Amino acid sequence: MLSVYLPVFLLLAVAALVAILMFTLTSVLGPKKPTPEKLLPYESGSNTTGASHLRLSVKFYLTAILFVVFDIEAVFLYPWGSMFRELGWFGFVEMLGFLTILAVTLVYAWKKGALEWET
């Protein structure tokens, strides 16, 4: 079983090697000439004011929560999808119930304004 995953680990190792090679080359070969102006956060020429960690819109957090809900739904649909013919109408109706609950979730989030970005 584990031997099936051996090539995957090999590929991961090779990919990591490529990434680390690129990374190391540029940090070793690239020059480093810091000047006070260069070290400032780049904001198109104007001086930065305040901390760089802003207060963020709550929309981003809502999107993250919705992502968790719906991505788990998607992953739950995968084994069901690949077993679909064997489960037949019974499985279809069962999944219909599950999807209905999630559709209600989406409608609720929609009505509550969680999907609005204009304001």
Binding site for another protein (CB under 8 A): 3-8, 10-12, 14-16, 18-20, 22-23, 25-27, 29-34, 38-39, 41-44, 48, 52-54, 56, 59-60, 63-64, 66-67, 70-71, 73-75, 77-79, 81-82, 84-85, 88-89, 92, 95-96, 99, 102-103, 106, 110, 115-118
| Min separation Cβ 1 and another protein, Å | 10
With the CA atoms of 7, 13, 18 and 23 taken in that order, what torsion angle do they form, in degrees rounded to the nearest 10? Answer: 160
- Angle value at C-alpha 107, between 105 and 108, nearest 5 degrees: 65
Count of H-run helices and E-run strands, the chain: 4, 0
Provide, rounded to whole angstroms, the least separation between the CB of residue 88 and another protein: 7
For 103, the token pair is 């559709």
